[in-house]
Structure 1
Amino acid sequence: MFIAYAVVTVITIAANAWIAIADFARAKFVLANSAEVGVPQSWLPMLGTLKAAGAAGLLLGLLGVQFIGRAAAIGLVLFFIGAIAVHIRARVFRNIVFPGSFLVLAAASLLLAVA
């Protein structure tokens, strides 16, 4: 079971680190998506920091600080539930699969961490 947890969590870490970097760099697709769902550009550094903190927390969980890893997974699950809610509120469904994918990864990391 640890191998499944490790693999899923490493993928979740990589995905969240990548999207955090994209937020910090103000990548074109990030700017376009945030404008489409009504998230101000001024929020991007905070959102990137939350994603990066989640990735760092998951890494700490893998390294043995289990309560931090679980807390990070819970935080990421809540974060991406919020992202999906923002997409639904804005009625932007064409790219809702992206926050949905991040949510699935975070939830899988959490479930495997507590199993």
Structure 2
Amino acid sequence: MFTAYLVVTLLTAVANGSAALANFIGHDYPKSQADKLRVPRSWMFPLGVLLGTGALGLLAGFAVPVLGLLSAAGLVLYFVGAFCAHVRVRDWQLGPWAVFFCLAVAALALNLAHHGSW
């Protein structure tokens, strides 16, 4: 169980950290997604901060388990909000969203399974 928890948590942290970095540097992909979802580009930095803190919180969760739990739950909520943004504009190209959402859900589930439910 620990190996699955470790691998999924690290993978989720890397994926979300990379997405945060893409937001921070103004990469074309987050810009095109923001335009397609009609999200103001001024939100890219704050959304990147949320992704980045989620990634760092997952890593901090190895030392302080409750931080990992809260970060994983926060990322799940973040991607529920992203799903709502896709639905709002009737964008059904949900492949990348599904990967990030499933990683966040898996990180949350494995965190709970490894540390036990509080």
Pairwise same-fold verdict (TM > 0.5): yes
Question: What SS does the corresponding residue of 1:78 show, helix, strand or coil?
Answer: helix
Partner residue, 1:111? 109
The CA deviation string for residues 21-54 of structure 1, in whole angstroms up to 9 with x for no partner, is 0001111111111101011000000000000000
Deviation (angstroms), 1:92: 1.1
Deviation of 1:99 (Å) = 1.6
State the TM-score, normalized to the length of structure 1.
0.96
Residue 19 of structure 1: aligned partner: 19
Q: For each residue in 1:43-76, what CA deviation from the matched residue of structure 2 results, as whole angstroms up to 9, or x when unmatched?
A: 00000000000000000012x2000000000000
Determine the structure 1 residue equivalent to 2:30. Answer: 30
Rounded to whole Å, the distance in 2 between the matches of 1:23 and 1:45 is: 6
Q: Please give the TM-score of this superposition, normalised by the length of structure 2.
A: 0.93
* Secondary structure of the corresponding residue to residue 39 of structure 2: coil
Report the Cα distance in structure 1 between the residues aligned to 2:112 and 2:30, rounded to whole angstroms. 32
Matching residue of 2:91: 92
SS in 1 for 2:91: coil
Report the secondary structure of 2:61's partner residue: helix
* 1:69-110 Cα distance to aligned partner (Å, 9 max, x none): 00000000000011011001111112x111221110010000
User: 1:78 is matched by which residue type in structure 2?
Assistant: L
Aligned residue pair count = 113
Separation in 1 of the partners of 2:83 and 2:99? 10
Runs of 4+ in structure 1 over 3 Å off = none
**CA RMSD, 1 decimal:** 0.7
SS in structure 2 of the partner of residue 39 of structure 1: coil
